[in-house]
Structure 1
Amino acid sequence: MQSLLGISGIIEKYIRTGLDEEEQVKLNAWLGEDEANAALFRQLTDEHVMKQHLDELDAIDIAKGWNAFQERKTGQETNIRDIRKARWWKYAAAILLPLVIASGMLFFNKEKQDNDYEYTPTALRYHNDVEPGGNKAVLILSNGEKVILDGDSLASLGERDGARLQNDSARLVYEKGFSQPGEVVFNTLTTPVGGTYSVVLSDGTRIWLNAMSSIRYPTHFTGSERTVFLKGEAYFEVARNVHQRFIVETAEDVRIEVLGTHFNVMAYNNEKEIVTTLLEGQVQLKYGSSSPTYNLRPGFHAVFNKQQQLMDIARVDVDGAVAWKNNLFLFNNDNLEDIMKQLERWYDITVEYKLKTKPKSHFTGGMRRMENISKVLEMLELTGGAHFEIEGRRIIVTSP
């Protein structure tokens, strides 16, 4: 439970400048504690009410008031330097805003009890709802046979394609060091819309697959390279081996080389960019046969623009890049279309836009990915940037 004054301070910052990720998570947690909290938040952040309060503060003539006070006190008019000192009055007034909000919260809660205030629950606002995705995947063997995997089973899959396999609660494990002699064969692990899974390769490398993704890999590695092929998005924790480079190949001939490291690759076909984010170690990237080699350091990402065929490297918040692996949505000044693409992949929905104008709003905040979609949409609506309707598995986005 958030303290009244603590949450009022967060709401005040939300109104003034916006929140950082930690503050947004705290606000979301408070909003999720009680349906009435969301109703209260909407009232406290009502544009017309806040404009009236801000206009009243803005109308105060600090310099004139300070001069009048000085004249009464000393009989002399103050100078510009004294006016600058007096500005603290305005800052002091601003500090009172959280207390005003807290008072409003107390009044609102009391008024709700006295007048039997009714809040329309999410379940009634959205006549349909969509449950989140979960742990599910399909293993495709070298002969085309498909093995359905889910996160609830713990079973040995026996020897397949010269490897010994175990399905261990949302993780497919290839026994390390076990391999039958013969030619190298490939398996493919693929996740559907609304699915996620992980695999431990024969060298000990662990790979997490996001929804609508696939990874193709040999059942055991030979030679000087360990090469896998990615479509979609995956997070890698590569087992270090100085004698065998680990290589990830994606669409657009983007090639990522490592020895042992932790990194995320987002390479969906319907995205304009391929993004590689490094958490630990060092990776090298190339695209095509004639491009230069790009070195990536921890805390940076490399963004390859498919249309322009250009690579850009910049510092980034790595937590946002791997939030999906931790069952979180984390938005950092993201636009609505990018967010809705994430929701499409995770909730197995389609999105239809019926907006008067293209939304300019950007969204920052966080939420668990295991919530029903109505909870996510409600949080997005609180920004005032869009309105949502659910019709089966179709989300209609309209202007607020």
Structure 2
Amino acid sequence: MENERAKKLIAKYLKGDCTAEEKAIVESWYLNETANAQEEIEEPDDQDMEQQIWAKITTENHKKSLSRQRIYSYAAAAILLLTTALYFGTRSTSPIPQNGAADFTKTDINPGGNKALLTLADGSKIVLDDAVNGQIAKQSGCVITKTTTGQLVYTIQDNQAAALKTQALLNTIETPKGGQYQVNLPDGTKVWLNAASSLSFPARFSGLQRQVILKGEAYFEVAKNKHMPFIVKSEQQKIEVLGTHFNVSAYADERQSKTTLAEGSVKVSLTANNQEQVLKPGQQAIANNHIKVIPVDIEEALAWKDGLFMFNDEDLENIMKKVERWYDVQVDFQQADLRQKHFSGTVSRFGKVSQILKTLELTGSVHFKIEGRKIIVVK
């Protein structure tokens, strides 16, 4: 099985697009490999691996689909297996060390998960990862529910009088470092928040537009309403849509904001000078003092939402910022030039931090030490 085939197969499974035959391949490997999860995983031989998969399928009947969370856990090992140790490239020509990557067994750090804090209009706060499933709050005309799958859902009750009182009520959901969360807004819009992010929104949309305020990164699937445009405001920019799918990365510690369009159409405008650009699917707007529009790999831009880190000739400084947010760690570069080393590759967000560090170390151009919750980058 070629590396590219294997990587695409995992991506299809995570999205729910596999055929029955493809689904059996992935689930067969999951059941086989997790049975020996404590054993060290060795790099498989491509030809031999495919024969083993099909042999196993002919002897097993898979009656149950895996939950998304279990697939995320599986991906940490399965992506390693099916892509032959995760292709990772670098501009450095340093040879791969014969003694392999460092041993992080005693200092490893777990990945993030569904963690968030909800602040209601009256100032009361609800820690969502501690809250019980079911109804957790009620505001005028709106019921707020936490589902068994860890989503926050706002449901509007048919009460026009309550709507008038609710329009000024602003709620905020915040994810910490090492956290993520999904929220279904009152209009049916779905939002996935990445780590160290926040979204402020009214408990019920009213008036001529639906406006939310974002800090950090989020993926939006906006419910269509041609009479009420959906507005996403961040520190540098404003994004206007009617109904579409797009990703916004607007972290305070990043010099640029990035808006990536997956479907539909959006207009991005700068707060400072009102410069604006309309995006088409497959385009990304990079906003700083001006807006630059470039073609982009949608799969790469949305990889975090599907449980993956995906890098394409990306510098180590940006890679480690993502590691900092997701694993809730501090990163210290001992040499400044290490920040500018470039890497390409794909790795699960749901493995321990050692998974990504060991893979980067295999290039021979960078090494890591873990001290508590600090990762030290060395040559």
Aligned mates of 1:30, 1:328 — CA distance in 2? 15
Corresponding letter in the other structure for 1:225: Q
Show the 5 A alignment for 1:169-208.
Answer: 169-176=149-156, 178=158, 180-183=162-165, 184=167, 185-208=169-192
Partner of 2:126: 147
1:385 CA drift (Å): 2.4
Aligned mates of 2:212, 2:253 — CA distance in 1? 21
Corresponding letter in the other structure for 1:143: D
Q: Is the 8 A contact 1:177 1:203 kept in 2?
A: no
Provide closer, same or farther for how the CA distance between residues 48 and 377 of structure 1 changes in structure 2, counting only shifts above 3 A: closer
Higher alpha-carbon Rg: 1
Partner of 2:207: 223
Aligned mates of 1:48, 1:371 — CA distance in 2? 23
Structure 2 SS opposite 1:204: coil
Runs of 4 or more above 6 Å deviation: 119-122
1:3 CA drift (Å): 6.5
1:177 CA drift (Å): 5.1
Corresponding letter in the other structure for 1:375: Q
CA deviation map 1:294-337 (0-9, x unaligned): 100000000002xxx11100100011111111111111111100
Aligned mates of 2:143, 2:77 — CA distance in 1? 45
1:368 CA drift (Å): 1.0
Higher percent of residues as helix: 1
What is the root-mean-square deviation of aligned Cα atoms in Å?
3.0
Show the 5 A alignment for 1:221-370.
Answer: 221-252=205-236, 254-288=237-271, 290-305=273-288, 309-355=289-335, 357-370=337-350
Partner of 1:75: none
Provide closer, same or farther for how the CA distance between residues 382 and 222 of structure 1 changes in structure 2, counting only shifts above 3 A: same
1:383 CA drift (Å): 1.8
Corresponding letter in the other structure for 1:131: N
Aligned mates of 2:305, 2:286 — CA distance in 1? 20
Aligned mates of 1:181, 1:378 — CA distance in 2? 53
CA deviation map 1:116-145 (0-9, x unaligned): xxx8896x4453111000001111001110
Show the 5 A alignment for 1:46-195.
Answer: 47=95, 124-150=103-129, 153-168=132-147, 169-176=149-156, 178=158, 180-183=162-165, 184=167, 185-195=169-179
Bigger mean CA offset, 145-154 vs 232-241: 145-154
1:361 CA drift (Å): 2.7
Structure 2 SS opposite 1:240: coil
Corresponding letter in the other structure for 1:345: R
Q: Is the 8 A contact 2:97 2:364 kept in 1?
A: no
For CA contacts below 8 A with separation 6 or more, give which structure has more relative contact order: 2
Q: Is the 8 A contact 2:333 2:339 kept in 1?
A: no
Partner of 2:45: 4
Aligned mates of 2:363, 2:348 — CA distance in 1? 18
Bigger mean CA offset, 137-146 vs 161-170: 161-170
Aligned mates of 1:32, 1:3 — CA distance in 2? 9
Corresponding letter in the other structure for 2:290: L
1:363 CA drift (Å): 1.1
TM-score by length of 1: 0.69
Q: Is the 8 A contact 2:276 2:291 kept in 1?
A: no
Please tell me whether residue 212 in structure 1 is matched to residue 196 in structure 2: yes
List gaps (5 residues or longer) in structure 2: 1-28, 30-42, 50-75, 87-92
Please tell me whether residue 29 in structure 1 is matched to residue 80 in structure 2: yes
Aligned mates of 1:336, 1:6 — CA distance in 2? 33
TM-score by length of 2: 0.73
Provide closer, same or farther for how the CA distance between residues 362 and 178 of structure 1 changes in structure 2, counting only shifts above 3 A: farther
Aligned mates of 2:101, 2:274 — CA distance in 1? 55
CA deviation map 1:184-237 (0-9, x unaligned): 211001111100001111110000100000000001111110000000000000
Partner of 2:57: none
Corresponding letter in the other structure for 2:240: E
1:46 CA drift (Å): 8.7
Provide closer, same or farther for how the CA distance between residues 146 and 277 of structure 1 changes in structure 2, counting only shifts above 3 A: same
Identity %: 41
1:389 CA drift (Å): 0.4
Please tell me whether residue 375 in structure 1 is matched to residue 358 in structure 2: no
Structure 2 SS opposite 1:256: strand
Aligned mates of 1:174, 1:271 — CA distance in 2? 31
Structure 2 SS opposite 1:384: coil
Aligned mates of 2:125, 2:109 — CA distance in 1? 27
Aligned mates of 1:26, 1:331 — CA distance in 2? 18
Corresponding letter in the other structure for 1:297: K
1:162 CA drift (Å): 3.7
Structure 2 SS opposite 1:269: coil
CA deviation map 1:227-252 (0-9, x unaligned): 00000000000000010000000002
Aligned mates of 1:137, 1:283 — CA distance in 2? 28
